[in-house]
Chains A and B, each alone.
Chain A
Amino acid sequence: MMEFLSEILAQDFMIRALTGGALVAIACAMLGVLVFQRGITFVGDGLAHSMFGAAGIMALLNAMIGAATGSPANSGSGNYGAFFIWSALPLNVLVGFAMAWVRRTGKLRGDAAIGIFFPIMFAAGVLCLALRRNAGAPPLNMEALLFGSVLGMTPADLTIMAGGAVLIAVIALTWGRRIAYAAFDPDLAAMSGVRVALAEYALFGLCAAVVAFSMRLAGVVLVSSLLAIPAGAASLWRGSYGWQLLFASLFAATSVKVGLILAYWIDVPSGAMIVLTMGALFFAAMVIRAFMVPDARR
């Protein structure tokens, strides 16, 4: 076992994946607790699919600029489409703000606004990628976009991913406490000086950003699990908000590390293995809770 771990730690790409993956997972888990308390768990899925649309739009723009200037369009094959993911981040944040705006001004409850943007942005992505293909540009690496490719991460990717994750985690621990207060009760938070509308926009914007930073780790299809499962596991236990942040962060970081090591060991896609590890730990937590908390089995 020690020999196997030493082998893993000798690989630069594994060190990058373990470090970047854990940091991004912690940032996701912290925002996940806020999202869970706000009752908009679907936001991760919505913004991940919107990220597909944003990446598709940027890919089409890249091909059009390439055609106009005579330079070849980026295929994303060398770096698994990282260029499109990073360039689509600002667009995804704008979509996050738009979701918050529709939710507030349309007075839509729960996940309704998210459910409206989810298919629109996904359809926009499909359309843009088809137009790009029709224009003769090279096809994109769709597997990386849909399922993640953390093992293919370059040192530059790690810097951006880790930097973004740390920034988001710091915001979640500081300014995010105002978002948490607004999630508890918007009227009381407003009376205590919280700008509730700003808190809502900030939550959607931060989620859009963290989803973009996490695309490398889990891709469009699996990234929402990083927001939902650790927060769900934390909510199984009675504890303060601070305790839930800590539990969700440890849960997420452990899941990513165990999932990555298992993926390397069995030689299977890392994103799927991370999500399955999270799922296994979540149900283990449920079983433990059923035995530890007397009224939990009712």
Chain B
Amino acid sequence: MNIKSDPRETSPAIKVKGMSLAIEGRSILHDVTFTLERGEFLCICGPNGAGKTMLLKAILGLGKPTLGTVSLFGLSSREGRKKIGYVPQRKNFDRMFPARVVEVIAAHVSGAWPLMISSAARDKAAAALRIVGGEHLLDKELRDLSGGELQRAFLARALVADPEMLVLDEPMAGVDAKGIVDITALLDNLTKQRRMTVVMITHSLSVVEHCATQVIFMEGGTVMALGKPAQILHDPRIRETAFTGHDHEHAITSGKGEY
């Protein structure tokens, strides 16, 4: 018997072809083309204003490309993003909204803001928080959390639905050195143990060196270089413009994190 596999099971995690995006006449992304296979860890690097965040948003269907196509796991952005856990760079949520961490996580599972939290939803949220070392945050209000605690809460939210891909926009921003080591180890583990695809915007050279299997270097709204970390990091201009000397670099490279 000849069993044909569903092409969506084998199609790449991300396929972007000739994508351009303009906002109010201003070009933000120009002719971006790349393919990312499943299980890869892609780091997107580049100077500020290079269009990295807009690229992620366009891939996720949160920004509408003016030209070109995007597919996620062989599906449209709208359909494919159901398989994705997303951690945004800036936490743009309404600070006055009465939101507890458990509610934010439960809302992602149900697709609606909860009026009450069932014990099953609570257990699920607690399990997701345990993965990121944030169990103590379960009943805290979002407006009371520090930057690092917020990142853990949003990371737990991204993981709770058991996604096939994690998309993270500068997840280390506002996180202390220990948190960065923990998050980096966690992401490394997710790709190696669970074969999860990870896409991450970062300005950290250490993170790229330790985690990435693919690197995109962006500048002026377009992909300037794409390849294995060794190829991309070989270029001194990229090393100079894409990465900043964060104080957490030392924490990752000093052996506090186990990879």
Contacts and interface: CB of A to CB of B under 8 A. Distances in A.
A263 interface: no
A31 B220 CA distance: 44
Contact of A240 (B61, B86, B103, B108): B103
Interface string B98-112: 111001100110011
Interface stretch (A42-50, A116-124, A179-187, A278-286): A179-187
Interface residues of B, number: 30
Interface string B77-92: 0000110101010011
Contacts of B96: 37, 235
A189 B93 CA distance: 10
A192 interface: yes
- By secondary structure, the A interface counts as helix
Nearest to A190: B62
Contacts of B100: 240
A239 B100 CA distance: 9
Given A184-B113, A188-B86, A241 B94 contact: no
B88 A241 contact: no
A184 B94 contact: yes
Contacts of B97: 37, 183-184, 241
Contact of A194 (B61, B86, B93, B111): B111
A181 B94 contact: no
A37 B97 CA distance: 6
Interface string A173-210: 10001101101110111111110000000000000000
B98 A192 contact: no
Contacts of A245: 115
B141 interface: yes
Contacts of B113: 177-178, 180-181, 184, 241
A185 B60 CA distance: 15
Contact of B115 (A173, A187, A190): A173
A193 B115 contact: no
Contacts of A191: 60, 62, 81, 84, 86, 108
Interface residues of A, number: 27
Contacts of A39: 94
A240 B100 CA distance: 8
B106 to A, nearest CB: 10
A194 B108 CA distance: 10
B229 interface: no
Contacts of B74: none
B92 A194 contact: no
Nearest to B143: A238
Contact of B98 (A185, A187, A238): A238
- By secondary structure, the B interface counts as loop
A184 B93 contact: yes
Contacts of B61: 190
B111 A187 contact: no
Nearest to A33: B98
A181 B91 CA distance: 14
- Candidate in B81, B104, B111, B113 with the most chain A CB atoms within 10 angstroms: B113
Contacts of B1: none
B47 interface: no
Interface string B56-69: 01001110000000
A242 interface: yes
A9 B57 CA distance: 59
A241 B141 CA distance: 12
A187 B112 contact: no
Contacts of A249: none
B3 interface: no
B212 to A, nearest CB: 23
Given A238-B98, A241-B103, A185 B93 contact: yes
A277 interface: no
Interface in B156-186: 157
Contacts of B94: 37, 39, 183-185
Contact of A241 (B57, B62, B91, B98): B98
Contact of B112 (A178, A185, A244): A178
The 6 closest A-B pairs by CB, nearest first: A242-B115, A177-B112, A180-B113, A185-B93, A193-B111, A181-B113
Given A181-B112, A240-B98, A241-B115, 20 more contacts: A37-B94, A178-B113, A181-B113, A183-B94, A184-B93, A184-B97, A184-B99, A185-B93, A187-B92, A188-B157, A189-B107, A190-B62, A191-B62, A194-B112, A238-B141, A239-B98, A240-B103, A241-B99, A242-B116, A243-B98
6 contacts: A183-B94, A187-B88, A189-B107, A192-B111, A193-B82, A244-B98
